[in-house]
Structure 1
Amino acid sequence: MCRPYRRLVDRLRAQALPCWICGHNINYKPYGRRHPLAFTLDDETPLSKGGDLLDPATPVAHTDAATASGGRCR
């Protein structure tokens, strides 16, 4: 799973999309995974409820925005 995931991350980073939850721009420079403004892949349908993280339509978000939603379907 590592390579397909990395390819998806690289492709989404290159698009420089805003956070799909809050709408603000994401700074795509590496902050470290735990920084609240760090880039992360989110999932519209949580993985625990059958979502697919490798879906090409996976939205991007800030870490804090994705964490705040906490596994709830949006």
Structure 2
Amino acid sequence: MARNPRNGRPYRQLCAAQRALGLPCWWCGEDIRYDITGPLAGRHRDAFTLDHVLPLSKGGDLLDPANARSAHRRCNSARGNRTGPKPNPWASRRW
């Protein structure tokens, strides 16, 4: 059975190094609540998550520090696996 690479030490070290930088969210530019840790961090929308510039589903490297960015959980989830420009929140959907 294959192990989940996000449970390994190299991934945890990359997350810790990115968190230690204390940067704002690379997606929206707002401050991240780095004080939210533990089980609550997995559910809180303003908590830190490690985002990847080139999504893993598009060939991005999970452990490459150059591909890692600090993001809010909400921003990371909203972005999904898109690689293009930030969506305009005021634009209407095409139906």
TM > 0.5 between the two?
Answer: yes
Q: Which has the higher contact order (CA 8 A, sep 6+)?
A: 1
1:17-71: CA deviation from partner (whole Å, max 9, x where unpaired): 1100000111112142121111001111111110112111211100000111111
1:12-27 to 2 correspondence within 5 Å? 12-27=18-33
| 1:6 equivalent in structure 2 | 12
Equivalent position amino acid for 1:68 in 2: A
Q: Percent identity?
A: 53
| 1:44 equivalent in structure 2 | 53
**TM-score, normalization by structure 1:** 0.91
- Counterpart-to-counterpart distance in 2, 1:53 and 1:38: 20
The unaligned stretches of length 5 or more in structure 1 are: none
Moved over 3 A (4+): none
The CA RMSD measured in Å over matched residues stands at 1.1
The unaligned stretches of length 5 or more in structure 2 are: 85-95
- Counterpart-to-counterpart distance in 2, 1:60 and 1:34: 16
**How many residue pairs get matched?**
74
